[in-house]
């Protein structure tokens, strides 16, 4: 299945106090770890949804900047849907250090062409680790133009219009969604059926150190 991917790395990281994309995991930036993990799924292309004032050239992936400023991750998703060459887009936040390639591969395997897949854990939607169809770009655009920035609402709208389906997860998969938000929270050990060792394998190829 052909799909594009985007790593959401444009947040302000206020609680962390520094850009989470550059947090070290196994000696490499967290963003490099996420890119390498996604590359294991062989996407058509990987984009970085990043900050306008940051140079991402060392990660060897095109950087995208939001067309709607101050609108949160939905703006990054909208921009990536616009840029994507494939019919589906994998969305992944930079700050999930326990997310694994086997889990993302499982999501991809449950998608169909033109129809996305959005995880649901204990009844709660996880809209930032999901596949969205490129055709959902118009929904994101309309929502942003109405100053409605909730990604959960966007995910629900995709399902309501038949552009995506929900996929219910086991409670055992909760550890994959650990969010590294501040300096008091080191990466936890991954949990569940799709876990890898903590932090995943270190990137070996796609990050050029200065």
Closest alpha carbon to 66 in 167, 125, 3, 149: 149
The verdict on residue 97 lying in a domain is yes
Do the domain assignments include residue 116? yes
Residue 190 covered by a domain = no
Structure tokens at 205: 């190829």
Contact between residue 27 and residue 18 where contact means Cβ atoms under 8 Å apart: no
Residue 94 resides in a domain: yes
pLDDT in tens, the chain (210 residues): 799 999 999 765 555 556 678 787 778 888 999 999 999 999 999 999 998 888 989 989 999 999 998 999 999 999 999 999 999 999 999 999 899 999 999 999 999 878 999 999 999 999 999 999 999 999 999 999 999 999 999 999 999 999 999 999 999 899 999 887 666 655 554 445 555 543 444 344 444 544
Q: Which CATH number characterizes residue 114's domain? A: 3.90.550.10
**Residue 208, domain member (yes or no):** no
pLDDT of residue 18: 60
pLDDT score for 6: 98
Per-residue model confidence (pLDDT) at position 206: 45
Beta strands 124-125 and 116-121 are antiparallel
Radius of gyration from C-alpha coordinates of the chain: 16
**Is 184 contained in some domain?**
no
Q: Which residues pair with 131 in a beta bridge?
A: 90, 117
Q: Give the residue numbers spanning the domain of 153.
A: 4-177
Take residue 194 and report the two structure tokens written for it: 């799709």
Give the Å distances, CA to CA, from 125 to 16, 35, 150.
Answer: 24, 23, 12
Count of domains forming the chain: 1
Inter-residue contact 68 to 142 (CB < 8 Å): no
Residue whose pair of structure tokens reads 């996880």 in the numeric block: 126
Task: Decide if 186 is inside a domain.
Answer: no
CB under 8 Å to 121, separation ≥6 — which residues? 168, 169, 171, 173, 174, 177
Q: What is the largest CA-CA distance in the chain?
A: 46
Q: Is residue 156 part of a domain?
A: yes
- What's residue 187's pLDDT? 57
pLDDT of residue 193: 55
The neighbour count for residue 176, using CB atoms within 10 Å, is 27
């Amino acid at each position: 299945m052909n799909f594009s991917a985007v790593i959401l790395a444009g947040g302000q990281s206020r609680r962390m106090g520094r850009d989470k994309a550059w947090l070290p995991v196994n000696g490499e930036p967290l963003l490099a770890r996420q890119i390498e993990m996604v590359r294991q799924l062989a996407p058509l292309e990987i984009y970085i949804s990043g900050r306008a004032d940051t140079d991402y050239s060392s990660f060897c992936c095109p950087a995208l900047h939001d067309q709607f400023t101050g609108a949160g991750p939905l703006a990054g998703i909208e921009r990536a849907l616009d840029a994507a060459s494939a019919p589906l887009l994998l969305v992944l936040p930079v700050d999930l250090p326990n997310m694994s390639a086997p889990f993302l591969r499982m999501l991809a395997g449950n998608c169909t062409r033109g129809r996305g897949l959005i995880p649901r854990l204990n009844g709660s939607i996880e809209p930032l680790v999901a596949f969205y169809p490129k055709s959902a770009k118009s929904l994101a655009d309309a929502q942003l133009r109405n100053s409605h920035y909730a990604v959960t609402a966007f995910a629900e709208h995709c399902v309501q219009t038949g552009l995506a389906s929900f996929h219910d997860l086991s409670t055992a998969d909760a550890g994959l969604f650990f969010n590294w938000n501040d300096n008091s929270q080191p990466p936890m050990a991954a949990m569940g059926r799709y876990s890898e060792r903590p932090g995943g394998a270190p990137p070996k190829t796609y990050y050029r150190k200065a």
